[in-house]
Amino acid sequence: MDRNRLAKELIMMRRMRKPRANHKPPVIKVDVDAWLKANPDYMIQCPHQPGNLKLSPAACAKRYLTANEPRWSNIGAEPFPIFVIKMNLIPCRNCEVGAEMARRQQQQEGERAA
């Protein structure tokens, strides 16, 4: 008897679950232009990347530092995805904006550590 009751309870628990197919994630509507006007210092426009690329100062600093790492400096016979990453980082190697962002980020990290 206890086994049958347990089986029935398990079946009822399974029936109470909602199927995931009907669940839709919430859509957050953000007006990007209004947000950029309200936060003008948070995003910068990259002078070297095509397509009016806007990125945060931290992302700019990371691209600059990554582009100047020795493992990304040699372009050779790599798999295609790695080749594409290296080619996209070439404009960041000698970027003055990226160098400034990296310098500011290192200063901020030094102030936090102190």
Tens of pLDDT along 86-109?
Answer: 888 888 889 999 999 999 998 988
pLDDT in tens, 33-83: 888 888 888 888 888 888 888 899 999 999 999 988 887 767 777 788 878
**What is the residue extent of each domain of the chain?**
25-113
pLDDT at 101: 92
For 48-57, give one letter per residue: b (16+ CB within 10 A) or e: ebeeeeebeb
Q: What is the pTM of this model?
A: 0.64
Of the two residues 13 and 41, the one the predictor is more confident about is 41
Distance, in Å, from the CA atom of 106 to the CA atom of 96, rounded to the nearest integer, reads: 15
Dist CA 11 CA 92 (whole Å): 59
Side-chain half-sphere CA neighbours of 81 within 13 A: 0
- What local confidence, expressed as pLDDT, does residue 16 receive? 56
pLDDT at 20: 64
pLDDT at residue 103, rounded to an integer: 93
